[in-house]
Amino acid sequence: MTASKSNLTPGSAEKGSRLWMQRLVDAPRFPLLAQECTAQIGEEVEWIAPLPKNNFKEYKLNQNEAMSSLFPGADKMNIFDFWPKNQPQWDGIAIGRNSGTLYLVEAKSYRQEAEGQKSKAKDPKSINQINETLKKNHAVHFPQGNFTLWTEGHYQLANRLTFLYEIQARCVPQFFPSVRLILLNFVGDPTMKKTTREEWESYYSNVFEEMLGTAQTPQGVLLLHLDVELCHRYQALKNMVRNRSTAFAALMHFIEQETAYLTAPASTKYHLCRRHGPLEHSVNVAETMLKMRASVAPDLSEESCVIVALLHDLGKAGVPGTPQYLKNDEEGARYPYRWNRELTYLSVPVRSIYLILPHFPLTEEETQAIVYHDGQYVEENKCVAAREEPLTLLLQYADNWSGFVIEKKLQK
């Protein structure tokens, strides 16, 4: 049995917040996480650590690698005289591509990971220096908060806040125009005990109220919640395409990077009218289709099932540079999204084929399944009645079951 790695050990993680941080910074392989993080931060970032090329090593700010990237030519003692040499190690360090902001990231994947933390300092001199710095920042920024919780129970959050304000005071504007602390919480981590967005929000509201004297997110802090469950399910399905893996990876890179496939809504006002709508639906369809295949059509290609399920609604992404749906920002708008009038009209299945075929060779059966996946609900599909291939029928059933049963339950 392989021993689990601690946060102090470089290398690929297998579960928890380290796993999802490593996937987050590896945007070419896991674009969904990167795009969602960018949307929540409000800008793209350049990651300083952890990085795949450095074996996902995490840094303390006073380590030489971090100093050379963040504070070139600076004297460590001038910046970090408020803390002992043994500093906190950051789950992530990044710089905003537009703003130049320094982002310091503390990541959690389940609630218990954030609870019950105390200082591990042993040296009396270090303990005294830490406590004096914590007291100072408590008095300046959160005098109404309970200081006992800064050293007993929420010490890690206290020292992260302290570093935020001390680095702001010492390094703005000399090295950065601003510094922000990101409290990054992974929602629905299937590798650990799943925590919902609502549970994270409730947890931090209570902690801030008790520890800081206000339920509001502190100044300079970004409280982010990234849903990793959908990413995990989506990645597992993509990994099932093995026989045509190279061509499929190229297609997915194109649609993930050049179209709105990962972020589009599924409609302007009805079915899954929200960010990631078609992606969520396609993952549901793929998982449902694989279950049906196992029961009634085990001879059908598992790979073909995944391909047609993930791509059947690709047309809802529009084309590169021109999404099918736009945010409805018009005053008094009744619906959150509107149709993009600059997009040449094609039905969703036809546009799906238009996007796929220049990059990926579909079989005849896969083509039929995607083109006629709406079944006899659509007048134009009468021509294929009673001539559907098994793959087409299975996709139709899985599509309907996902839309009319699974997703209706989720929307209640």
- Distance, in Å, from the CA atom of 350 to the CA atom of 312, rounded to the nearest integer, reads 10
- Distance, in Å, from the CA atom of 96 to the CA atom of 182, rounded to the nearest integer, reads 12
Q: Mind listing the domains of the chain with CATH numbers?
A: 16-228 (no CATH), 240-411 (1.10.3210)
Whole-prediction pTM: 0.90
Q: Which helix (H) or strand (E) holds 287?
A: helix 277-296
Of 311, 324, 320, 306, nearest to 254 by C-alpha is 320
Which tokens go with 315?
């047309």
> Which residue in the block uniquely carries the two structure tokens 């800008």?
43
- AA letter at 353: I
CA 308 to chain centre: 24
- Distance, in Å, from the CA atom of 177 to the CA atom of 152, rounded to the nearest integer, reads 33
> Which residue in the block uniquely carries the two structure tokens 């549970």?
199
At residue 247, the pLDDT reads 97
79: left (phi over 0), alpha (psi -120 to 50) or beta: alpha
At residue 304, the pLDDT reads 98
- Distance, in Å, from the CA atom of 322 to the CA atom of 156, rounded to the nearest integer, reads 45
- Distance, in Å, from the CA atom of 258 to the CA atom of 254, rounded to the nearest integer, reads 6
Helix (H, G, I), strand (E, B) or coil at 122: coil
Q: How would you write the pLDDT of the chain (412 residues) with one tens digit per residue?
A: 333 445 557 889 999 999 999 999 999 999 999 999 999 999 999 999 999 999 999 999 999 999 999 999 999 999 999 999 999 999 999 999 999 999 999 999 999 998 878 888 899 999 999 999 999 999 999 999 999 999 988 999 999 999 999 999 999 999 999 999 999 999 999 999 999 999 999 999 999 999 999 999 999 999 999 999 999 999 999 999 999 999 999 999 999 999 999 999 999 888 888 999 999 999 999 999 999 999 999 999 999 999 999 999 999 999 999 999 999 887 778 889 999 999 999 999 999 999 999 999 999 999 999 999 998 888 888 898 889 999 999 999 999 999 999 988 776 5
Helix (H, G, I), strand (E, B) or coil at 255: helix
Which tokens go with 381?
């599909």
* H helix and E strand count, the chain: 16, 11
At residue 412, the pLDDT reads 56
Packing angle between helix 302-311 and helix 364-371, nearest 10 degrees?
A: 40
